[in-house]
Structure 1
Amino acid sequence: MRLLASLVAFLFFVPAATAHEFWIEPETYTVDPGDPIIAELRVGQDFKGAAQTYFPDRFARFDVKMGETTRAVEGRIGDRPAMTFVPEGEGLAVVIHETKGHTLRYSSRDLFENFVEHKDLGDVLERHAARGLPELEFREAYTRYAKSLVAVGDGVGTDTAVGLHTEIVALTNPYTDDLSDGVGVRVLLDGKPRADAQVEVFARDGDGNVTQSFYRTDAAGEAVIPVGPATEYMVDAVVMEDTGNDDPEAGPVWHSAWANLTFRTP
């Protein structure tokens, strides 16, 4: 059974190596007190992706934070949906998931260059050449840092930094605050604001239509996302880091860190 669980988990995580978004997708973003938060972990794009199983060997952290209390999400290997969690009390629940590191090799140079361009990763290509790295025969490590906001009962509360290597903090509570000016977010790297970072936003309306838009953070690492009613949002920001290793045979030469945040407007 352990071997079977490992095989199932491996198969579900293979798509991540093709470098798309990883997000937390609750069955519903508002639950009554005493009812469970049920959520899928997904990898894909445009809000379409493969559901991941609950597999502790594949994640470093899986928690729910409500106010000052943080509890681990527990489950059985192979559970799908990966999360069934009964919160205590009511308020804003912040679901937190951090994957363990994975590695990939690009099948073509175009994929690497398109990724750098699409995620606006700055001068990565120039740095790659300056380090004397090969155009294709190298590995990249990647880690996903996802959060999701769920209203339990009244949904009152505030999102805060939760100590992830990179993360997106909602400055607006989408369930209780005035959304006429949009939802403010702050992008952090090691707890510090990421200025002039690209923020990619996917919005899925009630009919399932998905739109994509891009914003940039200001000097404080903040951006404001215009929002509409009854719409699900996925906010994404990626940073590419030098691993300190310039020998492709010794290990990954780059590390991409993905921050993701999901929520739904009333």
Structure 2
Amino acid sequence: MRRALLTSAILVLVQTATQSAAHEFWVEPEKYQVESGAPLVADLRNGQNFRGAALAYFPAQTARFDLITATGTTPVTPRMGDIPALATTAPADGLLVILHETRASTVKYTKPETFAGFTAHKDFPTALQTHRDRGLPETGFIETYRRFAKALVAVGDGAGADAPAGMETEFVALTNPYTDDPAQGLAARLLYQGHPRAQAQVEIFDRAPDSTVAISYLRTDDAGVVRVPLIPGHAYLLDAVVLRPVNEGAPFDPDTPVWETLWAAMTFAVP
């Protein structure tokens, strides 16, 4: 049974590897509110429109996997192939952050419209011209990508505050969706290399109790802060992407990445 589950997990990983650069990646707890000492279960998911497949845990794909509370950070150490990736016991009352950072993966663009569509969707209006100015081909080039995901979970009363975790890009919640007035929305700061990322697009996925998902787009202000309207009973995924050139000035090599994307994600729910 264990071998069959592992084989299935590997197939899921292979099936999603060629697609995942253009899809969101997030941590999805089974429950966003749990009691201390109760089961704490969460999946790593990859997909679109806040729907996606649960991925198996593989150490070679993982740079960090932590539980962060007011008292410190605890590494998560699943077994290879585990689905769900997190299955443990909830710690003491307070705001819990589940953090997952991937190692670099790559994707090769085989259709010119794919890169064009991606850069338009993620609001990089000058990327195509930059690509041409670098003398790069329309197809057959490689992008490398990494994911930086957080989930906010209320344990017991859920009191507490999020804080920067030192990832290259990340959202930091400035308000607590479990204890603050939802009518005021959620304020979150988007960081890149430890600094606020101003005037960046943030894609908001709002999932209602009936599983319908509404998508909207906001921009961070000059302090890197985005303010997200909230509806009680809904779950949210915030997503923002950094696109940057790599290996500039080098002759084109079809086996060497020419672009890199860094994906920040945060999930939470409103009681």
Task: Give the TM-score normalised by the residue count of structure 2.
Answer: 0.93
Structure 1 residue 186 corresponds to structure 2 residue 189: yes
Structure 1 residue 249 corresponds to structure 2 residue 254: yes
Residue 17 of structure 1 and its aligned partner are, at CA, apart by 2.9
Q: Deviations over 1:84-108 (max 9, x none)?
A: 1223311000000001110001231
Alignment of 1:86-235 (within 5 A): 86-235=89-238
Distance 2:230 2:3 in 1: 44
Question: What secondary structure sits across from 1:8 in the alignment?
Answer: helix
Shift in alpha-carbon separation, 1:172–1:265, aligned structure 2, 3 A: same
Residue 233 of structure 1 and its aligned partner are, at CA, apart by 0.2
Task: Give the TM-score normalised by the residue count of structure 1.
Answer: 0.95
Residue 16 of structure 1 and its aligned partner are, at CA, apart by 4.2
Q: Which runs of 5+ in 1 are unaligned?
A: none
Shift in alpha-carbon separation, 1:207–1:7, aligned structure 2, 3 A: closer
Shift in alpha-carbon separation, 1:253–1:43, aligned structure 2, 3 A: same
Shift in alpha-carbon separation, 1:170–1:17, aligned structure 2, 3 A: farther
Counterpart code for 1:88:
P
Distance 1:48 1:103 in 2: 22
Counterpart code for 1:8:
A
CA contact (8 A) 2:158 2:178 kept: yes
Residue 11 of structure 1 and its aligned partner are, at CA, apart by 3.5
Distance 2:209 2:47 in 1: 20
Aligned residues: 266
CA contact (8 A) 1:121 1:239 kept: no
CA contact (8 A) 1:36 1:85 kept: yes
Counterpart code for 1:150:
V
Residue 54 of structure 1 and its aligned partner are, at CA, apart by 1.6
Alignment correspondent of 1:265: 270
Shift in alpha-carbon separation, 1:210–1:59, aligned structure 2, 3 A: same
